[in-house]
Amino acid sequence: MKSHREELWFNLPQRRQLLNITPQVNATLQESGIREGLCLVNAMHITASVFINDDESGLHHDFEKWLEKLAPEKPYSQYNHNGYEDNADAHLKRTIMGREVVVAVTDGSLDLGPWEQIFYGEFDGKRKKRVLIKIIGE
Ligand code: ZN
């Protein structure tokens, strides 16, 4: 069995932002030379997510509104976590949107459904953060 590990680094200018990382994950898969196996992609931070959904701007706006209803950023004082930090909402948003995805690798490609794309979800940006890609197979 072969295995391949890669980190993607981000430093997004906004507090919250969704980024389609499917091209980077696919490039890593091609670099690995693995044809059959599994590809894990996970956020390495507790205020960021990796998830799969549609690359459609209306939906991304809906995610923002929905997450702000569930875990509004402000007022910061509403959260017990916000003693020295102001990112309690980002921890909650990350939990809802998920930590990782696993995608099948078939015939050298990411075996995604027709509209499935892999996203990095940043909920507490303006700092360096990373995503881990681990591909195993042969
Ligand atoms: Zn925190």
List of domains in the chain: 2-137 (2.60.120.460)
Q: How many residues would you count in the chain?
A: 138
- How confident is the prediction for the chain on average, in pLDDT? 98
Token pair belonging to 35: 């044809």
Q: How far is the CA of 127 from the centre of ligand 1 (A)?
A: 13
* Percent of residues, the chain, with pLDDT higher than 90: 100
What pLDDT band is residue 90 in, cutting at 50, 70 and 90? very high
Residues with Cβ–ion distance below 5 A, ligand 1: 85, 87
Report the pLDDT value the prediction gives residue 114, as an integer from 0 to 100.
Answer: 97
pTM greater than 0.95 (yes/no) = yes
Q: How far is the CA of 93 from the centre of ligand 1 (A)?
A: 12
For the chain, how big is the Rg over CA atoms in Å?
16
Q: How far is the CA of 124 from the centre of ligand 1 (A)?
A: 9
- The answer to whether 46 and 91 have CB atoms below 8 angstroms apart is yes
Q: How far is the CA of 114 from the centre of ligand 1 (A)?
A: 36
- The answer to whether 96 and 52 have CB atoms below 8 angstroms apart is no
Write the CB contacts of 29 (distance below 8 Å, at least 6 apart in sequence).
39, 105, 108, 109, 110, 135
Give per-residue pLDDT as tens, 28-86: 999 999 999 999 999 999 999 999 999 999 999 999 999 999 999 999 999 999 999 99
Tell me the average pLDDT across 108-137. Answer: 98
Report the pLDDT value the prediction gives residue 103, as an integer from 0 to 100.
Answer: 98
Report the pLDDT value the prediction gives residue 37, as an integer from 0 to 100.
Answer: 98
Token pair belonging to 4: 């391949």
Q: How far is the CA of 85 from the centre of ligand 1 (A)?
A: 6
Binning the chain into helix, strand and coil, the percentages to the nearest 5 are 30, 35, 35
